Every structure is written in structure tokens, then in C-alpha cells.
Amino acid sequence: MCSVKSAMWRGLILGGLLLAFLPSQAAMAAPQYWLDPAGPVAEMQGRLFLLTLWIMIGIFVTVSGVLVYTLVRFRAKGAAAAGSAPGGAAARRESAAAGEQDLPPQIEGSHKLELVWTLIPFLLLIVIAIPTVRYSFALAADPEGDPIKVRVVGHQWWWEFQYPELGIVTGNEMRIPVGRPVELVIESDDVIHKFWVPKLAGKMDAIPGRVNRMWFQADEPGVYYGQCAEMCGTHHANMRLRVVALPPAEFEQWADNWGRGPVVTSEAERQAVERGRQVFETRACFGCHSIEGTAARGVAGPNLTDIGLRTTLAAGILENTPENLARWIDDPQSVKPGALMPRVGLTDSELNDVVAYLRSLR
Ligand code: HEC
Ligand SMILES: [Cu+2]
């Protein structure tokens, strides 16, 4: 009996520790762990969260500690023993009646106590309120420094990033310069989405017909993962994004090169790319996609001007390799069933040429 009980306790304690420890360790290494901030906005938000969390843990431990202490200290003595004895109910009643002599002091309307449990929460709320108000204003204000503007538009099921000052449009991968604030204007083209890059900042709704604003900044170069955080239909879970933070010089280089046209290394490649461009501009592709400097001006799908540079396809669900690009273009519905890109039906050689063309856009 006793060993079963102690084994149960041991199991419970071990399980609790594992539950508390394991996910936090796994999460720490995870690319979307939001308490491992990579910029000032996520840091402020994380600090506020932790402050509130620790205060809450303090309250929880104190209150449940007092509760457990009270339960143990003032429980009716002998009741449990009597309960297992024959004729238990009567014996229990008896001992409960006897236990009345053990009642703790009965307090009602104590000014001292009332004052204490009003003042403590009041002080705690002040401790929480001061940084909350300070950070809220800091986050709502325009960022200091020399911000770069990006308009984020949510689509079913991909992200569009427009740089109005630079005349650049891209999809699913937002390139930003390190150490410079990014002023985001967040909108939607269809249903409600939510823009979220956990290491850079908290979530922000993308609502059709409404403009939401926020800013963030990456302090270190790197790739920051994000995803849509508001159920938006079939492929909500496959609506991922990446923010690629580049050293300023590399960012400038990307911005300068954007739209400069295909990069080819051989004559054979040049010919394939040229054929691919013709396929793109004569088949349905150009009606839905834009490529800077060409006749392709469609807006139903992502702008493909720098598709050769992107690390993923179809909002982060395929790695951007020639094989995956061909697979996607050949039959997008087999990769992302219900995605708003139809099967166009290219011949094998058309497919190869289009892949060569899109790969050269880098
Ligand atoms: C009816 C509109 C439509 C047509 C026609 C169309 N696409 Fe798309 N395309 C889309 C949409 C919408 C997406 C985004 C799908 C998603 O990720 O959910 C997309 C995604 C893509 C992507 C991935 C882009 C990225 O940012 O990851 C590529 C590459 C692409 N299309 C190439 C083509 C090619 C090549 C053709 C012609 C053979 C074509 N598309 C025809 C609408 C279209
Ligand atoms: Cu979504």
C-alpha cells in the first residue's frame, strides 16, 4: 500500500518536473521560441510577459501554500482513522463534533487583514502597470532611427511584402537590413490573417479593409521564422514566412539587383531561360504572377522577381530546389491541395525551361 503510494508520488513529481523542463529546453532551441528575442520589440514584450508571469507564480505559490497549510493544520483530527473503522459514518460525525473545539479563531471584518490584502495586490498591479504603460507607448510610437517601410499583405495562403520606398515587391521571404527598424503596415487581401515572427515581435492581425501598424528590428543577421497565426482556411498551417536579416551592405545589394533580370552562366542556359520566359509570358502564369521588367503583371499570386533567391516555395512548405520548383509548377494541387494556383499543364520541355527561367531570377 505504502510503496504504491510513494511510487505514485515519485511519478507525479518526476512527471511534473519533466513537463516543466523538457518543453522549455526543446522550445529554447526552436526557431519560433518567442522568449528568445532577437530584437528590441520582442525583448520588451518578453520582459513584460516574464514580469507578469513571475508575479503570478508568486501569488499562486503563496495562496496555494496557505491553502495546503490550512487544510493540513486544521483538518478534523481522527476523522480519517474513524472512516475506515466499522460503523464509520457515525464515528465520523462524532469526531467532527469533537473537532469543533479545534476551530481556528473566527475573524470577520478585520481592518488590518482587509488592508493587507487590498494593499498587496494594489502594489503588485503598480509594479506591473509601470513597465506596461512605458513599453506600450514605446511600441506604439514611431521607431527611432532610420526606419524602412514594408507593407505586409496576407493572402490565402501566402504573404506579400511591398517596399514602397524601394519599389520592390516580394513574397513569403522578407529581406531586411540588420539594426534598422522596420515599420510594418499590415493588411489583408481576403480573410483575416495574423502576421507573426515570434523572435522579432508579437502577433498583429491582417484584416481586410483595415490598416494595422507595428514595427520590429533584428539585431543580428539571420533567418527568423514566422507563420500566420489566425485560422484562415485550408492551408492556414502552410502559410509560413521568413524574415531574412542581412548586413546593411548585402541588403543594399539585394535591393539594387532586384528586377535586373535573369542571371545566366552559359549560352545553353541563356537559351533555356529565354524559352522559359516565353512559356511564362504565353501561358497562364503571367496572368497571376508579376516579374519586374517583363510583361508579367499578374497579382493573384506571389511576385516572382527574385524567386531564384528564395529559400522556400509556396509559403515555406517546400525547399526551393530545381526538383521542388518543377514539382510545384507541374502540379501545385498535389503539394498544397486547394491552393489558389491551378495546374497549368506544361509539357516536360516547357516545364524544364520555366524552371531554368525562374531559377535564373536571382
Ligand atoms: C490562377 C493564378 C495562377 C496561375 C495561372 C499560376 N499561378 Fe503560380 N501561384 C499562384 C498562387 C495563388 C500561388 C501561391 C500559392 C500558395 O502558396 O498557397 C502561386 C505560387 C507560385 C510559386 C511559388 C511562389 C513562392 O513565393 O513560393 C511559383 C514558383 C509559381 N506560382 C509559378 C507559376 C508558374 C510557372 C505558372 C505557370 C505555369 C503559374 N505559377 C501559374 C497563382 C497562380
Ligand atoms: Cu492563417
Burial pattern 307-328, b for ≥16 Cβ within 10 A else e, equals bbbbebbbbbbbebeeebbbbb
Q: Which of 56-60, 86-90, 292-296 has the lowest mean pLDDT?
A: 86-90
What's the confidence (pLDDT) of residue 95?
52
Single-letter residue type at 304: L
What's the confidence (pLDDT) of residue 106?
82
In terms of Cα–Cα distance, which of 154, 240, 150, 151 is closest to 192?
A: 154
Answer positive or negative: Cα dihedral of 159, 164, 169, 175: negative
Coil, strand or helix at 68: helix
Closest ligand to Cα 286: 1
pLDDT tens per residue across span 129-171? 999 999 999 899 889 889 999 999 999 999 999 999 999 999 9
Cβ neighbours around 145 below 10 Å, total: 10
Closest ligand 1 atom to residue 284 Cα is: 5
- Which uninterrupted H or E stretch holds 242? strand 240-246
31-74+109-246 and 267-359 agree in CATH topology: yes
At 83, the pLDDT band (50, 70, 90 cuts) reads very low
What's the confidence (pLDDT) of residue 94?
57
* pLDDT value at 287 more than 70: yes
pLDDT tens per residue across span 164-215? 999 999 999 999 999 999 999 999 999 999 999 999 999 999 999 999 999 9
Closest ligand 1 atom to residue 315 Cα is: 17
CATH homologous superfamily of 31-74+109-246 equals Cupredoxins -  blue copper proteins (2.60.40.420)
pLDDT tens per residue across span 6-47? 777 887 777 777 776 665 666 666 888 888 899 999 999 999
What's the confidence (pLDDT) of residue 35?
87
* Angstrom distances, CA of residue 272 to CA of 162, 264, 351, 362: 30, 10, 11, 16
Distance in angstroms (rounded) separating the CA atoms of residues 356 and 271:
10
Distance in angstroms (rounded) separating the CA atoms of residues 173 and 335:
19
* pLDDT value at 82 more than 50: no
C-alpha cell belonging to residue 156 = 490565402
Residue with the smallest CA separation from ligand 1 atom 8 is 341
In terms of Cα–Cα distance, which of 98, 101, 125, 186 is closest to 150?
A: 186
Place of cell 516579374: 291
341 lines ligand 1 (CB under 6 A): yes
339 lines ligand 1 (CB under 6 A): yes
Per the CB < 8 A criterion, the answer to whether 321 and 237 are in contact is no
Measured in Å, residue 53 CA sits from the centre of ligand 2 at 28
C-alpha cell belonging to residue 43 = 525583448
What's the confidence (pLDDT) of residue 80?
52
pTM summary value = 0.84
Place of cell 499578374: 298
Contacts of 131 (CB under 8 A, 6+ apart): 47, 48, 51
> Across 113-221, where does the E strand assignment appear?
148-155, 158-163, 168-171, 173-177, 182-188, 193-197, 201-206, 212-216
pLDDT tens per residue across span 228-284? 999 999 999 999 999 999 999 999 999 999 999 899 999 999 999 999 999 999 999
Looking at the domain 267-359, which fold is it? Immunoglobulin-like (2.60.40)
**Pairing between β-strand 173-177 and β-strand 212-216 as defined by DSSP bridges:** unpaired
Question: Using the 8-state DSSP alphabet, how is residue 310 labeled?
Answer: -
303 lines ligand 1 (CB under 6 A): no
At 85, the pLDDT band (50, 70, 90 cuts) reads very low
61 lines ligand 1 (CB under 6 A): no
Per the CB < 8 A criterion, the answer to whether 325 and 304 are in contact is no
Domain ranges in the chain are: 31-74+109-246, 267-359
288 lines ligand 1 (CB under 6 A): yes
In terms of Cα–Cα distance, which of 355, 352, 330 is closest to 343?
A: 330
In terms of Cα–Cα distance, which of 130, 157, 127, 324 is closest to 239?
A: 157
